Amino acid sequence: MKKIIDCIVLMAMCILSAVCLAACASDGGNRAAPYPDADTTVPVTDVGASTEGATDAENETSLRIDELYVFEEQVRSESAAKQTYYQFEENGLGSYHYYYDKVGPMNVASYTIKFRYEIMNDFQLVCFFDSVTYDDAHTGSKSDVSEWSEVLVYSDNYLLGEGNSGTLGYIAASYLEKIPNFGTGETNS
């Protein structure tokens, strides 16, 4: 029952986040996306969702394939190696790159989990661990992540997942050009 309630809360947060991001978006920005070649989207129907009895209009949400969905607190990091992100492939495989260094250079966590995913419905997918690779930057201990799994709420431009400290948001890299002031540290006066 808790999982169902968590999924409903994640869906509501996704809708709220999308509305907030749309309200904050500025068309005046001319900043290029950090990953300009990643704008391929694949409709849900192309990656395994059951669409029995559904029309094309009901299946407009797409998961962006081969694009990085970057953790919202790291969208302006200087390189993808220092970002936490999800990336999905058409064949039902994907990767989750985790990067954390706020404790200092002696305790950097940097690794990539390869996973298999399945679209559950028009706004949720589930990911299951397949393998892990620790990056050269990783200086912390190597814990067992073989039971890693995630249920994500997704839209064209956003992913929501649940972390140890609450809901975590991930923004599609190509969407950043539509919200050029997000994550820049600038304030309006």
Q: Which tens digits make up the pLDDT trace of 81-133?
A: 999 999 999 999 999 999 988 766 678 889 999 999 999 999 999 999 999 99
For the question of whether the overall pTM of this predicted structure is more than 0.95, the answer is no
Contact between 144 and 177 (Cβ < 8 Å):
no
Contact between 114 and 83 (Cβ < 8 Å):
no
Domain spans, the chain:
2-178
In angstroms, rounded to a whole number, what is the distance separating the alpha carbons of residues 14 and 128? 21
In angstroms, rounded to a whole number, what is the distance separating the alpha carbons of residues 99 and 111? 7
Contact between 103 and 139 (Cβ < 8 Å):
no
- Given phi > 0 = left and psi -120 to 50 = alpha, else beta, which region is 182? beta
pLDDT value for 125: 96
In angstroms, rounded to a whole number, what is the distance separating the alpha carbons of residues 117 and 88? 8
Q: Which tens digits make up the pLDDT trace of 50-65?
A: 334 333 444 456 899 9
